[in-house]
Amino acid sequence: MEAKAIAAVLEEMMWLTAQTVCRRQTLGATNLLAVAVHPENEPGRAGGRGAYGCPGDCGSARLLHPMKGQQKEKRMLRITIELLPGGQEEGKRVIATADIARASDGPTGALGDYRVALSDAILGEVGEPTVVRRYPRWASSVWDLVARCLATALNQGREALPPRPARPEVTVRTNDAGYRYVRLDEIPEPTRTFFDRKLAGSGIPDHGCAFAHDWFDFLNGHR
């Protein structure tokens, strides 16, 4: 098959993939992790608002800010992580996203630079946008690219996973009334932010503090 014909088939497959993913998001799919491919600046297709005629507005056409001196990124992946309470569709919500945009194709187009930005529903932007450089296009599954982009974004631009996080150790104190408690300002981030959210509606021993039993319930997954 000629190169142009192969390119046309791949283009059509990408369009069908984008439509399928967006319909699943719109109708309520069981996907925990969904990847939508929405190329930018392509000829429009009838029947949709987004790139590639997306039947739902899933937001995947948003571009990352290009690096200084580079052209605008033209193609992008969005990885969406959904939390399904109890494994059920009802009540599902998006808790994090990763946007991966092809920033440049290099001198020949065989090696691409991919810019990645991470976002968390609670923490907001995670780290700084970074770049995976000279990645060999079409050399592996898209999951290989995704994994390397995530690792690079989490490890300050280095294409390797950071050390596994350890369970935070916080001093447990006892007040004059005999209640055991922890100080919120002694809990490292991002654990402090997650714990503070879980404390909504709970009693506290003092301003900026939490009862020790609430802290241990949180660490053990009971809150």
pLDDT digits (tens, 9 = 90+) for 12-21: 444 444 433 4
Structure tokens at 73: 């990124």
Number of domains in the chain: 2
Mean pLDDT of all residues belonging to the chain: 75
CA-wise closest residue to 120 among 95, 88, 87: 95
pLDDT of residue 166: 92
Instruction: For residue 101, give the H/E element and its range.
Output: strand 93-104
CA-wise closest residue to 199 among 208, 78, 190: 208
Task: Note whether 44 and 147 are same-domain residues.
Answer: yes
Task: Note whether 88 and 177 are same-domain residues.
Answer: no
Task: Note whether 60 and 10 are same-domain residues.
Answer: yes
| Residue 168 is assigned to a structural domain of this protein | no
| Residue 162 is assigned to a structural domain of this protein | no
Task: Note whether 27 and 120 are same-domain residues.
Answer: yes
What is the CA angle 188-189-191, rounded to 5? 85
pLDDT of residue 39: 37
pLDDT of residue 164: 93
Task: Note whether 44 and 141 are same-domain residues.
Answer: yes
- Give residue for tokens 């319930």: 217
Task: Note whether 180 and 140 are same-domain residues.
Answer: no
- End-to-end CA distance of the chain, in Å? 57
How many CA within 13 A on the CB side of residue 4?
A: 0
The two most distant CA atoms of the chain are separated, in Å, by: 81
| Residue 164 is assigned to a structural domain of this protein | no
| Residue 121 is assigned to a structural domain of this protein | yes
Domain enclosing residue 135, as ranges: 3-154
Task: Note whether 141 and 181 are same-domain residues.
Answer: no
Residue 91 sits at φ, ψ, to 5 deg, of 85, 5
Task: Note whether 103 and 64 are same-domain residues.
Answer: yes
CA-wise closest residue to 172 among 210, 202, 201, 203: 210
pLDDT digits (tens, 9 = 90+) for 15-51: 444 433 433 333 333 334 433 333 333 333 333 333 3
Query: What value does the CA radius of gyration of the chain take, rounded to a whole number of Å?
Result: 22
pLDDT digits (tens, 9 = 90+) for 138-182: 899 999 999 999 999 999 999 999 999 999 999 999 999 999 999
Name the domain boundary from 98, 126, 154.
154
Task: Note whether 143 and 180 are same-domain residues.
Answer: no
pLDDT over 70 (residue 72): no
Task: Note whether 31 and 75 are same-domain residues.
Answer: yes
pLDDT of residue 185: 96
List the strands of the sheet with 93-104, edge to edge.
33-37, 76-83, 93-104, 111-120, 124-136
Task: Note whether 150 and 41 are same-domain residues.
Answer: yes
| Residue 213 is assigned to a structural domain of this protein | yes
Q: Are 76 and 60 contacting, i.e. CB atoms less than 8 angstroms apart?
A: yes
